[in-house]
Structure formats: C-alpha cells, structure tokens
Chains A and B, each alone.
Chain A
Amino acid sequence: GENVEQHPSTLSVQEGDSAVIKCTYSDSASNYFPWYKQELGKGPQLIIDIRSNVGEKKDQRIAVTLNKTAKHFSLHITETQPEDSAVYFCAAFSQGGSEKLVFGKGTKLTVNP
C-alpha cells in the first residue's frame, strides 16, 4: 500500500522567512496530493492541493510543487507569520485506485515573532 514520508518533523523559522516541508510517496498510482493545516485543538483543514497532471500550484503565500518522477512533493510558505504556526500534514490519494487518503506524520511549524 501507499507510504508517505514527511520531513522535517519540526521546523522553527523567524517571522518573514520562508518554510519548506517535503514529502515522498511510494505508490505511483497516487494522483492527488493535499496539504492540511491543523491548529491546536482543531481538526485538519485543507490549505492547498495538487493533482498529478500539474507541477506547481500557488495560492498567495503558499505553493506546492510536485515531482512525479521522483515521487516527491513540497509545501512552500513565504513571508511566514505567527498565525502560520501549526502542524502541517501532507497526504497522498489514489483516485480510482484505493480511494484512501494516506497521511504523512506531520510537521510542527513554529514562526517566531
């Protein structure tokens, strides 16, 4: 089955710096890759996603890149703010295949003012 590895497990940056979180997946049939943000005491919330027919997607300060050949995808947050502090999860999904979302183990991002 699918296996998703996520790095780093913790990341501390200064306000205004960029943050990058990387994930790799094992199943070449996976074709949808969402990123979720989880604030303390809340459920995960989708912040951006990318499909396998696209190499990059941006939404204001957040971007995701996908390298299908290498089976890895990354989340980039620019101009970080204290409210970006949270746990971020990557995931992989095989639409038409297993139809199950497999999550990485999460990255705790801390943005220091």
Chain B
Amino acid sequence: NAGVTQTPKFRVLKTGQSMTLLCAQDMNHEYMYWYRQDPGMGLRLIHYSVGEGTTAKGEVPDGYNVSRLKKQNFLLGLESAAPSQTSVYFCASREDREKVIEQFFGPGTRLTVL
C-alpha cells in the first residue's frame, strides 16, 4: 500500500494563476481532509469530505475549492492564487469506524505564490 500520496510535491505559482492539488489514498478510507501548515500556526483544516461526492468547509476555506468525485481522490483547487496561500498543504484520510480515528497524512505539497 502506498498510503496517502500527494501530487505535486512542489509548485511555484504567480499571483492570479490557478492550480489543483491531488490527493490519493489506497486504503479505502471514507474521510479525507486538506490542511495547510504555516510556521508557528500548526495545521489548519481547509476542507474535508466524509464520503464520495461530499465536501464540507473547515477552519480556513476561503480561496479554495474541493471535489471528491471518486472515493480514493480528493482534489484541492486554487482558482486565483494569492501570496497568502504560500504554505505547505497536507492531505489526510481515515476510516469511518467508531474505534479507529487515526488520520493518515500524505508527504505534503510545498506551494509558493509569488
């Protein structure tokens, strides 16, 4: 099992450009999450999904959109990138079982917006 993978690993954008970050998991997990990590801020939830075809807003959703068309994939989109979106983005997933709450994280995508 590859676990949680993220594409791309690094990206540099200019202000106003758009891009999509891809998260894929091969563990048949129901729940998927997108976080951003900024220095001194910990991880903050952007959007999440509790199953295929569903999405919900997290703590910092503005400027981002998401889609979960397939259970194994969770896409994060930036329609018009801004320098404030320079960050490291992490995707995570977990099972939908009462006794298993552990979230498994991907390796991250480092995004720089100039």
Contacts and interface: CB of A to CB of B under 8 A. Distances in A.
Which residue, A42, A100, A101, has most C-beta atoms of chain B within 10 A?
Answer: A101
A105 B48 CA distance: 20
Interface residues of B, number: 23
A113 interface: no
A48 B69 CA distance: 33
B12 interface: no
B107 A42 contact: yes
B98 interface: yes
Given A43-B106, A43-B108, A34 B101 contact: yes
Contacts of B74: none
Contacts, number: 51
B102 A46 contact: yes
A32 to B, nearest CB: 5
B44 to A, nearest CB: 8
Nearest to B35: A103
Contacts of A34: 101-103
A101 B102 contact: no
A11 to B, nearest CB: 15
Interface of B: 4, 33, 40-45, 48, 50, 58-59, 90, 92, 98, 101-108
Interface of A: 1, 6, 9, 32, 34, 36, 41-46, 49, 89, 93, 95, 99-106
11 contacts: A34-B103, A42-B107, A42-B108, A43-B92, A43-B105, A44-B90, A49-B102, A93-B101, A101-B45, A103-B42, A106-B40
